Amino acid sequence: MHLGLRKRENIMATITLEHKAEDFIKHCLTMASDIINLPIERMWIDYDREADVLYLSFRRPQRAKETIETDDDILIRKDGKEIVGITILQVSTR
């Protein structure tokens, strides 16, 4: 199935789905209930399929002054005490 969800210029292109629309909506609803419990007001999500990296940004631009690398391939980007982004490497294998 291909949903014609196209964003305007300078934003991600087409979203292609292999599952039924109902399955896609269920996944989105599950994710939404988790997201609204995060202590943030805004979030931008970018996924690089080729590199298998998920980028979560909590402020634009991030302007992080420090990056902390964890043992499990997660990069925490901070500006002072505030976490401004998280990068998850090898995300599809989690």
Domain residue extents for the chain = 1-37, 41-94
Burial class (CB in 10 A: 0-12, 13-18, 19+), 77: buried
Q: Which of 27-36, 37-46, 49-58 has the highest mean pLDDT?
A: 49-58
| Contact (Cβ atoms closer than 8 angstroms) between residue 75 and residue 86 | yes
Q: Choose among 91, 81, 11: nearest CA to 56.
A: 91
Could you report how far apart the first and last alpha carbons of the chain are, in Å? 25
The string of pLDDT tens digits covering residues 71-92 is 999 999 999 999 999 999 999 9
pTM value is 0.69
Please report the pLDDT score of residue 19 as a whole number.
54
